[in-house]
Amino acid sequence: MIKITSADRYFSLCVRKRANWTCERCRVGYTPPTAALHCSHFMSRGNYGTRFDPLNAASLCYGCHMYFTGRPLEHLSWFAARVGLDEVERLKRSAKTPHYGIKKYLKVIGRHYRMEHDRMKLGGEFNVWPEDSSAAA
């Protein structure tokens, strides 16, 4: 099991807030905070190259998250329709790239996403972590 850090917690809050606490597949809305709505990563959270990339994450309810977990080809199809095939390929390349030493920056990443979450509560958009600036290009 992958340890949930402060960076993971605030990143997850930002992803779910970006979707207005709604499942991006079935469109069911939830009242925050809730464990029924997940931050689902297309490329696994174990890949630090994409772990905190907002384009690698979607807000999915438990049911949709489990549905895609058991149907990887449907997950790929849904995800590609959502972000585009070029973005899927970029994420795959980035996930395979070793990111040695990123763990020492988890506190900084956590502070960034905590500030993002606070800013989003005031109506701001979700900004990518500077290390993921290629995701915005």
Over range 65-83, report the average pLDDT. 96
Query: From CA 34, how far away is CA 76, in angstroms rounded?
Result: 26
- At residue 135 the predicted structure's pLDDT band, cuts being 50, 70 and 90, is very low
Pairing between β-strand 37-41 and β-strand 57-61 as defined by DSSP bridges: antiparallel
Is the confidence at residue 69, as pLDDT, over 70? yes
Q: If you search the block for the tokens 């464990």, which residue do you land on?
A: 35
Measured between alpha carbons, how far is residue 21 from residues 8, 32, 76, 93, 101 in Å? 17, 7, 22, 29, 32
Annotate the chain with three-state secondary structure. CCCCCHHHHHHHHHHHHHCCCECCCCCCECCCCCCCEEEEECCCCCCCCCCCCHHHEEEEEHHHHHHHHCCHHHHHHHHHHHHCHHHHHHHHHHHHCCCCCHHHHHHHHHHHHHHHHHHHHCCCCCCCCHHHHHHHC
pLDDT, tens only, 4-55: 889 999 999 999 999 999 999 999 999 998 999 999 999 998 898 899 999 9
pLDDT of residue 128: 60
pLDDT, tens only, 85-133: 999 999 999 998 877 777 788 888 888 888 888 888 888 777 665 554 3
Q: If you search the block for the tokens 């500077």, which residue do you land on?
A: 130
pLDDT of residue 28: 98
Count other Cβ atoms within 10 Å, centred on residue 86. 9
pLDDT of residue 101: 72
pLDDT of residue 130: 53
